[in-house]
């Protein structure tokens, strides 16, 4: 019995290695796998690319990739829609971090009353420039505000980050601390997590390859807690689990979403710190 188990294990390992070898060869073909390579950080992932291909997500080539598909409401969006419906009447505004061309605003318009909501999209310069250009041509509504500088966004009680964190090129704490004021609510969705050490892979988006971070789950939740946020709700998105075909032994990622609220004592601490700095 033990011998049979060893043979089965050896066969599984052999098949896994053969599959990984095919995926690595395919990475250099005209039809590469969606995810390829494993790196310890974003800088090493970018360094593995040719010099002219190191723009990451700030890239004109991927601005309009999947623009129409991103406006579709899918199952993974419904927890976000539910919480926006509850929170927007209270907050009245939202910073859509990594909001691309306002695709969530467009997708949720038929489901939510956004007529009185101040919706600010924060994204990279190439995307913001394209968004403003689309507004001028009438392709996007004038109600959307586009910013690529966090210091320029308005004070806000709600930050939405759907599908952003795996592409974010700075720590989450740095992004939040760059805002005029820490938001009361964080609404996160499609966050790539795993139980093992954090890693970075490269994702193929259109003709570009961009770093894609998969965070350690426990460390990520501890980071949110250290920022003063309390988890109010969470959900898993099974259909967005991914395996890196070139390195399948790292296992499948988890896709996570959650609503977090800033603790009242954390708000007091932030206010006190701001007053101290002003003095």
Q: How confident is the model at residue 3 (pLDDT cuts 50, 70, 90)?
A: low
Structure tokens at 217: 């789950």
Q: What is the largest CA-CA distance in the chain?
A: 74
Task: Report the pLDDT value the prediction gives residue 50, as an integer from 0 to 100.
Answer: 81
* pLDDT tens-digit map of 125-151: 888 999 999 999 999 999 999 999 999
Q: Are 233 and 183 in contact (CB under 8 A)?
A: no
Decide which of 21 and 164 is more confident: 164
Task: Report the pLDDT value the prediction gives residue 269, as an integer from 0 to 100.
Answer: 46
The model's pTM is: 0.82
Q: How confident is the model at residue 89 (pLDDT cuts 50, 70, 90)?
A: very high
Q: How confident is the model at residue 121 (pLDDT cuts 50, 70, 90)?
A: very high
Residue 152 has pLDDT above 80, yes or no: yes
Structure tokens at 221: 């939740």
Residue 162 has pLDDT above 50, yes or no: yes
Region of 213 please: left (phi>0), alpha (psi -120 to 50) or beta: beta
Of 122, 119, 128, nearest to 84 by C-alpha is 119
Structure tokens at 16: 């896994």
- CA–centroid distance for 6 within its chain: 40
Q: What is the mean pLDDT of residues 176-196?
A: 95
Task: Report the pLDDT value the prediction gives residue 54, as an integer from 0 to 100.
Answer: 58
Q: How confident is the model at residue 273 (pLDDT cuts 50, 70, 90)?
A: very low
For β-strands 118-122 and 229-236, DSSP reports them as unpaired
Task: Report the pLDDT value the prediction gives residue 206, as an integer from 0 to 100.
Answer: 76
* pLDDT tens-digit map of 10-31: 666 665 555 555 555 555 556 6
Structure tokens at 96: 């859509």
C-beta neighbour count of 157 within 10 angstroms: 18
Task: Report the pLDDT value the prediction gives residue 208, as an integer from 0 to 100.
Answer: 80
Lowest mean pLDDT among 7-16, 113-122, 151-160, 256-265: 7-16
The C-alpha atoms of residue 176 and residue 159 are separated, in whole angstroms, by: 9
Residue 274 has pLDDT above 70, yes or no: no
* pLDDT tens-digit map of 218-253: 999 999 999 999 999 999 999 999 999 888 989 999
């Amino acid at each position: 019995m033990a011998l049979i188990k060893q043979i089965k294990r050896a066969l599984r390992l052999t098949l896994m290695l053969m599959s990984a070898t095919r995926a690595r060869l395919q990475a250099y073909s005209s039809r590469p796998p969606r995810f390829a390579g494993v790196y310890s950080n974003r800088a090493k992932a970018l360094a593995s690319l040719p010099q002219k291909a190191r723009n990451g997500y700030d890239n004109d080539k991927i601005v309009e990739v999947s623009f129409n598909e991103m406006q579709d409401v899918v199952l993974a969006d419904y927890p976000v829609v539910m919480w926006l419906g509850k929170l927007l009447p209270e907050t009245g505004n939202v910073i859509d971090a990594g909001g691309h061309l306002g695709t969530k605003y467009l997708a949720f318009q038929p489901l939510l009353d956004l007529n009185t909501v101040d919706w600010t999209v924060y994204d990279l310069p190439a995307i913001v420039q394209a968004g403003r250009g689309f507004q001028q041509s009438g392709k996007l509504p004038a109600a959307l505000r586009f910013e690529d500088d966090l210091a320029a966004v308005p004070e806000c009680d709600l930050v939405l980050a759907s599908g952003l964190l795996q592409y974010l090129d700075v720590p989450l704490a740095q992004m939040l601390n760059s805002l005029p004021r820490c938001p009361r609510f964080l609404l996160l969705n499609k966050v790539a997590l795993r139980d093992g050490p954090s890693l970075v892979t490269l994702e193929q988006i259109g003709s570009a390859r961009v770093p894609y971070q998969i965070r350690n789950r426990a460390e990520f939740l501890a980071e949110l807690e250290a920022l003063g946020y309390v988890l109010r709700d969470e959900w898993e998105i099974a259909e967005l689990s991914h395996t890196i075909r070139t390195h399948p032994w790292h296992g499948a990622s988890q896709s996570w979403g959650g609503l977090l609220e800033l603790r009242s004592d954390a708000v007091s601490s932030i206010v006190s710190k701001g007053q101290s700095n002003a003095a």
